[in-house]
Structure 1
Amino acid sequence: NSAQAHELLHWLRAFAEPRRLDLIRTALATPALALSHDRLEAFNADEMVLGEILEQFEGYQTHWQRNGLFATLRLFLNDYAVPARLLAAGDERGLTDILHLGEILQAASMQLDGEHALIRQYEQMLLSAEEEQDHLNMRLESDANLVQVVTVHKSKGLEYPLVFLPFGTSLRSMMDEKDFVRYHNKMRVWENHFNPTDEQRQAADHERLAEDLRKLYVALTRAKYGMWVGAPATKFWTQSALGYALGAKDQDSGEISRYLHTLAEADHIEVISEPEASDTSYTPVGQLELGEPLRANIELQQNWWIASYSRIQYEAKTLSDIDDASTEKRVEEADEESSKADVEVQLAGYHAFIKGAGPGDFLHNILEWCCNQGFNEVMQQPQRLKEEIEKRCEAKNSADYNPALITQWIEALLSTPFQLPNKSQTSLMSLAKAKAEMEFWFEAKDLDVQRLDQLVNELAPSRLARPAVKELHFNGMLKGFIDLSFEHEGRYYVLDYKSTFLGNDDSAYTLTAMEAKTVEKRYDLQYIIYTLALHRYLGSRLPDYDYEVHIGGAMVMFLRGVNGENAGIYCDRPPKKLIEQMDRLFSGVEL
């Protein structure tokens, strides 16, 4: 019933519901993280920081679902340098308690269905902590000598001193399936086949082999000190993941020893024959002491990471005495605060809605809900929209969230026509095909972000001066979420919502003002990257894809300017040459 136990509960709740800002705020404010007031305030005031934190906690949720709780907890602790901080403060016991609780919950999760079931059980454990005190204080070392039987899948993210994989050449070949097979086609879409042909069984077996190889990698990387792999020459061992890794051919079905002895030429690998069966019973011996683990002779550097657009930072350009983006942000906030009293008298309607990252996320979530329900369907059921907004405003428990004003605002955003880059018009409620929060991932091979910015300035020049990006290299995966993607008259578009405040009334939202803010905040680079994501996606989906034919362009929707020029929409269509050059740049090709 320690403080760490209750802090862990706050972390688990935030992992499980990464869109709940209140849960994330509570998790970040826990003493173990020891975040400064400035960092916590940035979460409330800076939209970029908020987006980055939300993506981070969404990553923890995905990591939990794929790799288990304990692996996710360790990732979280390392991200926020908790072990180093606790050890430096002499609180080794606190760190041990956190890890021990993580082990207990990892074991419990194998018997439960989903994150929330585990959280409920953990809450009950805390409530009954007095009765269970002896159990909760058990040290991890008490289980060190127990044999744990787990599947390869359940072992993901865990580590064991010694590991035995008894059936290293086992497999379930799809070539024997007569009635049904299932596999992904070249478009990464599931195909189901009844009474499959030999070619279809071969495709399914190829996918089975790929999955077996992934599981073999997991199994071979769980051991800390030693690993035993059973490798019998079963009938089809050459088709197993281990057989594939050894480079065996089908005609070598009886020659596994040759491959194993070749493998054993490497240091620290030994081939041991199967012992003869006997009637001798096992007799436990005294406690064995493990030797020192092997240590790498070279320093391994992992220059590979997952990043989002929000990781890019820019040089300050507006004031000569500003030398970093965070300083510029504080100056902007100070300016707004100093004139707050005057502004409150002048503002009305949508312009009076509170500013900040939290309110902006609130509006984004409502528009995402409208898209998922269908923009036109929402407009046809005004009472349903009214009730949904009232429920969300009530949850905020603040007079700043006026449900009548927000309902009127959302209806205006859905129904007001706006102009597209090709001068045709549409409205959100007129869209038949739209997708909210489309997620994208693509590889960035040692991408120089300053070179990317240079390319944008060369091929899509602006009449306004763009803030330059700071030095940064991406090497890994670039991910993101596009607020809205839609199709209109055969062309595809990306649209990004912005709650940015430009002025006191509708007249402030002119095309000139919206262009200036887009350049100042570098929304242009953001939607150009989104266009690249859409370009790659359509290229993999449309057999006759042509950028000039299918890409309509990109838009920034300034929500407060819905009654202003072009309904608050600033639109652009990045040149085809820019997108193609960016595609090559992200792929690591020299331009």
Structure 2
Amino acid sequence: EFNTHKMPLDGFVLIFEELKLTWSKRGFPAMLKKMLSTFNVETNLISMPDKQGQRRLSNIKHLSELIGRQINTSKRSPESLLLWIKRQFNKATADPSEDTGLRLETDDDAVKIQTIFTSKGLQYPIVFAPTLFRLNPRSYSNINEFHDEDGKLTITHKKFEDQSTIANERELVEIECELIRQIYVALTRGIHRTVIVALDHGKIIKGSERNDPPEYEMLGTLGKILRLPFIETTEDDSQSIRVDITASPNRFQNIPGIEPAVEIVRKSSANVKQLVTEPITLTHPAPMPMLDTTLGHSSFSTLAPSSDATQENITGSFINEAKNRDSETAEQPGEPQENPTGIFAFPAGAKTGTCWHDIFENLQFDADEQTILRVTEEKLKTHGFLDNNPEERITTTARMVQRVLTTPLPGMNGCEPFTLSAIPLKDIKVEWQFSFSANNGRKTSELIELLHAYPEYAPVADSLPEWNRPIPGGYLTGFLDLMFRKDNRYYILDWKSNRRSGRQEDFCFAGMTEEINAHHYWLQYLIYTVALNRHLNDTLKNYSYDKSFGGIYYIFLRGVDGEINADGKPNGIYADRPPERLIKDLSAILGDF
């Protein structure tokens, strides 16, 4: 019922078109998850007054599992899958399978089989622990691993180590301490009753293919903890003994780092005699080795002065952060335009940036007007921008794309201006990813000191007196929006969707410089230049920075209007070509080349 969702029919059409696109790009499970979330299915079913929500939800999950299996095994398209589902409603054509039987909606009352490790922190009314008697310290290899008196991990080989007996004893002590902790966890999961099992030791020996030590017959570690009785072998002896455990605050109080545990209540038996063993001494587990967090992957996004990354998390950034889909996510300083129109009517943030990136990444730069309109409409629809004023948004965006492709880019280092429409597809590389080995132990203060030596970058350096972040070792990673070649020179281009205050005049050279400095894009393109310079040096014969590197362009898409500003430069196009000496010095600081 559409009225309950307060959404018109065409709104549902758009939602299901987007779901279909998700299915084709990411698969059925991703589509289903998105659909259930969009319509809040789980919450709505559980809150239904007939109390059958759990039943219906279980059916949906069961059906999704069957459908997913059918897609994987039969490689069905959405249309083919729909026909298959229709056949399943007819018993005569349905696929026979035990998997289609009705499932229980909940397994809360089912017996749960879990390992000791997964049960930690959980509790159950009744617990059966039938195999604890098998936990016994033993070493199965020729390698001894233990911690010495100073707590350092020591590894020895039994064949060559003079102290092999001592090493073996130390290893067994550490193993037994860990087994005691595991047994403690198992014995403290039960709320009302815990049942452990001790098989007849005679039966064990007869059925064993290995030579077990006497401690195995006497329940080993478990026996030491619980003071369990030794089980004699008689003709009428039972093959197991049941021991109940009840809550008590006075047990296991000497085990480091754990709460008081349980008390044993023994069942009387004519065939059981008591065996008292010597108490064992427990030691704290050895500290875990410290991992070197100074190595890993980092990027401009985590290294920039505005980033909140620290030395502990800077190397753990995901590769996707290196793509930096326009860090500008909100209105910029200044007086915003009250009712923005045209290209400035698109919202600020990553969603717009991602959409416009997608257009340029899927468009040949020499495309005609109709092709530009078609690709623009397709991408705006994909990214959800055609819900309001679709014709206006398509036209506005297509005009922006045409202006960007036909506005001359300023020439650098003696080159003539040129347009992107003159760049053939074979000379374009989209989303070029790089990773280069980074120096460990350097700091960003060294970059600031270096920039002070170059007048064009000195104002940037002066604005960051306290930027002294460690440059992590490992790898510096990044993605160039676009790398292209023109007249045997290689260029870096980055698309920017920044909105600023929503006025065209904000995208003159001074306004763009302010934006470059505010978001530290200068650091981004310097890192990009270091990476590309190194790549070209390794892959081109007779490479020369002066003759082969063209420069960088940061194109602020909203600001490109085809006009030349008062500085004699095109609006919306920021160009720079860092000095070769600066790039070489930066490479020495950033890269382990």
Normalising by structure 2, report the TM-score.
0.48
Structure with the higher helix share, 1 or 2: 1
TM-score by length of 1: 0.48
